[in-house]
Amino acid sequence: MSLLQALAEAVVNVSASKGGARAAQPGRTGGGGLFGQQSGQQSGQSGGGIEDMLGSLLGGQAQQSGGAAQGGLGGLLEQLAGGQGGSSGGLDDIIGQLTSGGNGQSGGLGGLVGALTSALGQGGASASAGGDSFGNMLNQTISNRGKAVAPPQPTPEQDAAAGLMLRAMIQAAKSDGKFDQSEQQKLLGRLGDVSAMERQFVNDELAKPVDVAGLARDIPRGLEHQVYAMSVLGIDLDNKNEAQYLHQLAQAVGLDQNTVNQVHAQLGAPALYG
């Protein structure tokens, strides 16, 4: 297994959980954004959102192998990479920065890439050197979940990026202060056949306190939108603590209010700002 597969597991579990919550609360309405307002106020969302984006993938319709993803969650992550960070090659060019340790840091994800390469015996080829894009591999991994097929094999850089996005989902899920065993199960489900190193990574993230500044420091330049989007995906965004966490993360990575609300709209999530 890989951290990409663990991320796919979390995405599917959260999507299923959110679908059930929305079915149980058909009257979600309200104007304005969540940040700075009373707990429980939500902006109305009609249809669309992450459930629709994942629908074809959960039905087994994976993207063809090779190139960049065009639809599903992977396609959205690729789309968010457009024009960001001065990269001309999209999401995988940004992920390639992981080999130099994120945005100028000597440790962080650069260290994670090294650990993955050593522990899993993976080669050090750059994520942008060819083959499937990160978004396409994520779509395939979601689509193939539970099937008796060989999972896509991410490069060390792609797996490190998946670990960062999983870390963002876990931190967001803990931001309301109520992340108990049942909440962990709802997010991660059964991790299944993970390596000792991968399981330790997940357990460490579950045990750590919420650290917005630390997460922001480890995000490579240009990957801010994707990591923020995965934080949004990791929560229901129905209380003030979660809204405060997302506000702090957006500020830490330099996303303005209009951009934040656009990301929320693409995910079918309540707007953060009015």
Question: pLDDT tens for residues 234-265?
Answer: 888 888 999 999 999 999 999 999 999 999 98
pLDDT at 136 over 80: yes
Q: Per-residue pLDDT averaged across 76-85, rounded?
A: 64
Please report, rounded to a whole number, the percentage of residues in the chain having pLDDT higher than 90: 20
Q: Which fold has domain 3-26+92-131+151-267?
A: TerB-like (1.10.3680)
The 8 Å CB, 24+ separation contacts for 64-69 are 65/132, 65/136, 65/140, 66/131, 66/132, 66/136, 67/132, 67/133, 67/136, 68/92, 68/133, 68/135, 68/136, 69/133, 69/135, 69/136, 69/138, 69/139
Domain ranges of the chain: 3-26+92-131+151-267
Please report, rounded to a whole number, the percentage of residues in the chain having pLDDT higher than 70: 62
Q: Specify the pLDDT at position 126.
A: 39
pLDDT at 58 over 70: no
pLDDT at 29 over 60: no
Beta-bridge partner residues of 132: 67
Q: How confident is the model at residue 70 (pLDDT cuts 50, 70, 90)?
A: low
The whole-model pTM stands at 0.74
